[in-house]
A = this chain, B = another copy of it.
């Protein structure tokens, strides 16, 4: 139970995520991974079972975390408006903290095998169901307009691309705020209090 091994493994996860995000999964060869981590094949495969398992672990991590935190948010049980606001804020901050993994999550679904795809898909669906539930409750209560929920499928894309392409722009908190501002006004049935214009 030495901690050295766990450190190395964590380093492999971290460096691999960065490389996969920059160059893609298939675009990153094993040799590149090895030199980034500072290991040779023997050491590498002592910690990881296969390159694809490595990818899967990187992809499951972020969605698993927000799924967990969303449980607490929903259980807190405020109004649909408050819950939706919290879900969005949480997602935005989670992505900002782990941009590489989330980029991979969005881009590399097709690089997984059937088993991996199913596991990712299940978590994805479970998480988006939280959003759908809240929206439906809000529609039922009259807080939200009767919007078509098809757009929920692109919640991940809505956040991640704002972050990725504004990487050297404003901070994550203000970007999250700006997205949620448009989103909340987009679904709300009643006029919301005016928000401060940009430029902070």
Contacts and interface: CB of A to CB of B under 8 A. Distances in A.
Interface string A16-45: 000001111111000000000000000000
A178 B24 contact: no
How would you classify the secondary structure of chain A's contact residues: helix, strand, loop or mixed? helix
Interface in A54-69: none
Contacts of A157: 106, 154, 157-158, 160-161
A188 B106 CA distance: 30
Contact of A182 (B107, B174, B183): B183
Contacts of A24: 24-26, 108, 110-111
B22 A110 contact: yes
Interface residues of A, number: 51
Nearest to A154: B161
A27 B162 CA distance: 27
29 contacts: A23-B110, A24-B108, A24-B111, A27-B110, A107-B107, A147-B181, A147-B182, A147-B198, A148-B174, A148-B175, A148-B178, A148-B181, A148-B197, A148-B198, A150-B166, A150-B178, A151-B162, A151-B178, A153-B164, A153-B165, A154-B160, A154-B165, A157-B160, A157-B161, A182-B183, A183-B186, A185-B186, A185-B188, A186-B186
